[in-house]
Structures are given as C-alpha cells and as structure tokens.
Amino acid sequence: MKGKKDNIVLIGGSAGSLLLITEILENLPARLDYALCIIIHRSSTFSSEIEKSLSIKLNRPVIAITDKTPIKNGIIYFAPPGYHILIDPPGTFALDSSEHVNYAKPSIDVLFESCAQIYGQYCTAFLLSGANADGARGLKAIEEFGGKTFIQNPSDALIETMPISGIQESRLSTILKNQDIIRYFSDNLQLS
Amino acid sequence: MVGLKKSEFISFSDLDEVVYLLKNISEFDLTGYSKSSLKRRIERFLSMEKMDLVDLKSAILNIDGFENYFIQELMVNVTEMFRDPQFFRQLKAKTFPYLQTYPQLRIWSAGCATGEEAYSLAILLKENNLLNRSFIYGTDVSLKALDFARKGVYPLAKIKSYTDNFNKAGLASEFSSHYTAMYDAAIINNEYRNKILFSTHNLVSDHVFNEFQLILCRNVMIYFDKELQEHVLQLFYESLALFGFLCLGSKESLYGHAIKDRFKVIDSNLNIYQKVK
C-alpha cells in the first residue's frame, strides 16, 4: 500500500476531452508532487503523436507508458492506444492486451480500478467528456478504496454521456466546471 | 487499507494463495506473472463462473482437470492477423534479405494463442518466395487456443479488420486469395496450415526445443515480471541461431535487460533484434 509521498492523479476522457486536457497541462505548475496519468480513448494509428507534440509544447517530459514503466512523482504519463493499463505493486505500470472493456482499449475503468486498489486514499481521479460509460465503475472503485473523485460538469463537457454516467455510478464525486478543474491543477489543490 | 472493499475484487494475498495452490497441485507456475493483470483475469473468471474464492480453491483442489480449464481462461488469447501492420513491413524489409541466405528457415511464434500471427507470417513468407524452405512452430500453454489455431478457421466478422491490417502491411496480393470463405467463416489455405506445427510449450517451465533463425514473441512478456522476462529472454537467446532475429511486441523491449548486449537493435520502434554474440 502506498504512503503519503506517493500520490497519483488520473485523468480519464474520451471524445471532446483533449482540449481541456491540453489546457490543464499548459497551466500545470513547474513542480508536481504527484504522478499524473492521462488515459484517453484514441486510435492506435496515431500512436505517439500526442506525447511528442505535448512534450515540445510544454517543454517537459511527457511519457508514453510502455511495459513496466516505473511511476515517479512529477512525471506526466499517457496510456498508449491498444493496451489496457494496470498498476503492479509497489508502483510500476503494467500493460495488458486482453479484450476491450466498454468497447475501449485502454479502458478507463481498468486503470481506475487497478489504481484504486494500490493507491487507496492517495489516488485522485477526474472523469471528463466522452461518448460512452467507461470510467464510471472505476470512479466508484476509487471512492470505495478511499480516493478522491471529480467529474467535469456535464454542461461544460463537449459530450456529456461520460460525465453523466460517472455521476450516476459514483456518490461522492465533486462536480467541477472547466475553470475549476484547471485551477485545481494550477494551484496544486490536491495537497490541501 | 480502507475497510470498504468491493466483493468482486480479490486481494493480492488472495492472489498469492491461488498461485501457490496451483503451483503445488499442477505444472502451472504463475509466480512470475504480472500481479495486477493476473488478479484481474481471476476476478473475471470468478464473475463469469459465478464462483467465489472459496469455490475456486476447492475446485482447484478437488476437481480433476479443473486447473487446465482455469489456466486456459486466465490466459489472454486476443490477437489479430497482421497485428501492427508496420511491424510486418519492417520485418520483411530488415530481416528477409538476411533470412533469404539460409537454405532452410525454422521460425518460432512463441505464445501464438489462436495462431493468427503464425498464419500472417506464413503468408508473408509465401509472398517473398520463402515459404517452401520454411517451417513455423506455433506454441502456447493453452490447449484450447492451440486446437483453434490448428483448424485455421476464423470468423468472417473479423476478416474485415484483418484485411485492413493486411492492406497496410504492404503485401502485393489480395488478402482474400489466402483463405476460402464459407458461410460465416474463413478457412486459411492448406499450404499455410501444412507449414505450421502448433504444439504446447510453456515458456515458464519448458526448455529449448530447436534452433531458430527467427523468433516472434509479441505481447506475451507484458504479462511477466522482470525476473521471469529475464528467464524467457535467456531461453530465446539459447534458441536462436547466431545472427537470428528476435521480435518483441511494440511496447516491449530488451532495454533494461542485461542480455541486450548480446543483441543488435535492428528496429528500436518495432523491437526487432538480432543475436550477434
């Protein structure tokens, strides 16, 4: 089980989430006291383009997860297309190419559920815009293991299906407008 | 640890107990498997079979042959024909000029699951006039997957995406010339099936069984921890002829393994390596 020094923040999104994610990343403080892992549904045809262009744009390392990538504070990770992402104790990413979950690979549920069990209260997750119900069960698991969950306000989301599913499935999630989500990251609010 | 625990999750110590039981009563040792992925597979199995952990342990101990069924359901058999089309392009461009110089080619598709990769390779070899001097061994731990592979019959529903892959892999022929469609299935041409031997082999516990010029093991090692990966890489190293090629999955690499010094990197994105000493 993870200690206080090992916080992880997860952002899950699908269609309509990339713009907000880019804005979050552009407003991040220079120093992060947590690992940030972003998981979005995307086609495997354009595998590594996002990481490369973001890394240049943000002038900081943005890492595409590969087999057994260690999880470190201060680093931004992206889930690669075509694989589910899980977390192996004590703290490395593990890849899995099994069946799609919620028509998705990577599935947000798979990562969230795995992370919930390893990180417990030190896991924080955001669920953003998307056109299916992936991520909702994962939010519930994070809550049950003591973590914190946030959902993009459906009225702010380009596609509201995913946030609404998240709200229906989880009980304790905080619902945030876009500017509050960005401020949460830029002001390091998870540490308070 | 927080008290609230969803009943559908098992704990990591539960997982260890199942692995330990299985190791003691069968030839299957899952100790070196990646914990989170294996745990999720067991949870999936329990939910599909409507069993709980007590049922599972009792079944492992008391039901004859249960462990074979259980293992087959735990193994991930998801694969495609011409998966990662770019890989097949580079395999042809970067290894075939060398492989052409051998009078005979022995090829190993390790962890072949339901055989799609072995058949893809056979088609690629055929198109480059190498099939007549090649023989492919497809191995896996799952007997059920191997039975499926031997038949060479795939649902027509999947053929569309396989055709997309095929077209991106840069082959000159039509994909449809390599199989016969009947009702809702496609059967791979006999000439390919005759060039492949599908047989059981456990990368964890079995040994070198031949010498190969080419070994493909893609998206298998992701399920193993570092220690077991070392073991399997050593097995591949010993199974390769000098200057033979080893191909790993697109997210797997020799980086971080001591054995990488014995290989030359042929393609660092697609993880194609050549044994050089």
Within chain B, all domains assigned CATH 3.40.50.150 are found at 85-275
Residues 6+ positions from A1 with CB-CB distance below 8 Å = A118, A120, B1
The fraction of chain A above a pLDDT of 70, given in percent, is 93
Residue B242 confidence (pLDDT) above 90: yes
For residue B227, give both structure tokens: 């220690």
User: How far is A170 from chain B, CA to nearest CA, in Å?
Assistant: 13
For residue B91, give both structure tokens: 């395999």
B253 contacts A66? CB cut-off 8 A: yes
Which of A67, A86, A143 has the most B C-beta neighbours within 10 Å, making it the best mutation to test the interface with B? A67
B256 contacts A94? CB cut-off 8 A: no
User: How far is A83 from chain B, CA to nearest CA, in Å?
Assistant: 9
Report the relative pairing of strands A148-152 and A174-176 from DSSP bridges: parallel
Residue B274 burial (CB count, 10 A): 18
Is the peptide bond between A89 and the residue preceding it cis, with omega within 30 degrees of 0?
Answer: no
- Residues of A serving a catalytic function are 14, 41, 134
pLDDT value of position A168: 96
Residues in B touching A94 (Cβ below 8 Å):
34-37, 222
For residue A48, give both structure tokens: 């590594």
Residue A52 pLDDT level (bands cut at 50, 70, 90):
confident
Mean pLDDT of chain A: 92
Residue A192 confidence (pLDDT) above 50: no
pLDDT value of position A3: 66
Residue B4 confidence (pLDDT) above 90: no
Residue A47 confidence (pLDDT) above 90: no
A2 domain residue, yes or no: no
pLDDT value of position A2: 67
Residues in B touching A99 (Cβ below 8 Å):
78
**Residues B69, B74: Cα–Cα separation, whole Å:** 9
Which residue from A67, A89, A117 is facing B222, i.e. has the nearest CB? Answer: A67
Residue predicted with more confidence, B77 or B198:
B198
For residue A169, give both structure tokens: 């499935």
A154: domain CATH number is 3.40.50.180
Query: Do residues B67 and B25 lie in contact, with contact meaning Cβ atoms separated by under 8 Å?
Result: yes
Q: What is the DSSP string of B107-140?
A: EEEET-TTSHHHHHHHHHHHHTT-GGGEEEEEEE
Residue A51 pLDDT level (bands cut at 50, 70, 90):
confident
pLDDT value of position A49: 76
Domain that holds residue A61: 7-191
Which of A2, A44, A68, A140 has the most B C-beta neighbours within 10 Å, making it the best mutation to test the interface with B? A68
Residues in A touching B223 (Cβ below 8 Å):
96
Query: Do residues A12 and A39 lie in contact, with contact meaning Cβ atoms separated by under 8 Å?
Result: yes
A96 contacts B223? CB cut-off 8 A: yes
Residue B118: half-sphere exposure toward Cβ, Cα within 13 Å: 34
3-state secondary structure (DSSP) of residue B231: helix
Could you give the number of structural domains in chain A? 1
Amino acid present at B213: Q
Q: Length of chain A, please?
A: 192
A127-165 residue pLDDT tens: 999 999 999 999 999 999 999 999 999 999 999 999 999
When the candidates are 3.10.129.10, 3.90.1170.40, 3.40.50.150, 3.40.30.10, the CATH number that belongs to B85-275 is 3.40.50.150
Query: Do residues A162 and A13 lie in contact, with contact meaning Cβ atoms separated by under 8 Å?
Result: yes
Residues in B touching A88 (Cβ below 8 Å):
34-37, 225
**Residues B198, B184: Cα–Cα separation, whole Å:** 24
A69 domain residue, yes or no: yes
Query: Do residues B72 and B145 lie in contact, with contact meaning Cβ atoms separated by under 8 Å?
Result: yes
3-state secondary structure A84-105: EEEEECCCEEEEECCCCECCEC
Amino acid present at A98: S
Residue A48 pLDDT level (bands cut at 50, 70, 90):
low
Calculate mean pLDDT across residues A1-16. Answer: 85
The dihedral formed by the CA atoms of A91, A93, A94 and A100, expressed in degrees to the nearest 10: 130
**Residues B135, B140: Cα–Cα separation, whole Å:** 17
Query: Which chain A residue has its CA at the smallest distance from B227's CA?
Result: A68
Calculate mean pLDDT across residues B238-242. Answer: 98
Query: Which chain B residue has its CA at the smallest distance from A144's CA?
Result: B4
B222 contacts A95? CB cut-off 8 A: yes
Residue B6 confidence (pLDDT) above 80: no
pLDDT value of position B2: 37
A1 domain residue, yes or no: no
**Is the ipTM here above 0.90?**
yes
CA separation (Å) from B75 to A67, B62, B129, B145, B241?
18, 22, 34, 9, 29
Residue B3 confidence (pLDDT) above 60: no
| CB burial readout B235-256, b (16+ within 10 A) else e | bbbebbeeebbbbbbbbbbbee
Mean pLDDT of chain B: 95
* Cα dihedral B44, B49, B52, B56 sign: negative
Report the relative pairing of strands A76-78 and A84-88 from DSSP bridges: unpaired
Give φ, ψ of A144 to 5 degrees.
Answer: -65, -30
Residue A171 pLDDT level (bands cut at 50, 70, 90):
confident
3-state secondary structure B42-108: HHHHHHHHCCCHHHHHHHHHHCCCHHHHHHHHHCCCCCCCCCCHHHHHHHHHHHHHHHCCCCCEEEE
Which of B80, B83, B251, B252 has the most A C-beta neighbours within 10 Å, making it the best mutation to test the interface with A? B251
**Residues B212, B99: Cα–Cα separation, whole Å:** 11
Which residue from B36, B78, B225 is facing A98, i.e. has the nearest CB? Answer: B78
For residue B98, give both structure tokens: 């060398």
Residue A50 pLDDT level (bands cut at 50, 70, 90):
confident
